[in-house]
Amino acid sequence: MLFIIILVLTIICGYFFPWWFAVVIAFSMAFMLGKKPGVTFLIGFAALFTAWTIMALLKSIPNHNALATRVAHLFQLPNWVILLIVTAFIGGLVGGMSALSGILLRKAFTK
């Protein structure tokens, strides 16, 4: 349930707010709905990894990956798919850490 909420809210808000708003979403949803810290980290990681992959593909596919290919070559990566994976991994780490922060803050207040 937490995965779906973070995923959908991040994709929707990704078109209207800056990239860091995903941190607010993962933090607040984990604060309200998180159960265990380890599981919540993985859920936040997976949700933002998936959301950033979807959003990057929605932006990149209409222009036949021209900009993504050029940026990949700029960073000396073999193709744009590696750039997509690196970008999604960074987003996943951001989501996982913010979700972990949310659940740990709730645990700090409940004890």
Structural domain including 78 reads: 2-110
Quick one: pLDDT at residue 8? 97
Please tell me the predicted confidence (pLDDT) of residue 111. Answer: 74
pLDDT, residue 93, reads: 97
- List the chain residues with pLDDT less than 50: none
**CA angle, 103 then 108 then 8, to 5°:** 15
Q: Which amino acid is at 24?
A: V
- What's the total number of domains in the chain? 1
Q: What's the rounded Cα separation, in Å, for the pair 3 and 5?
A: 6
pTM of the model: 0.92
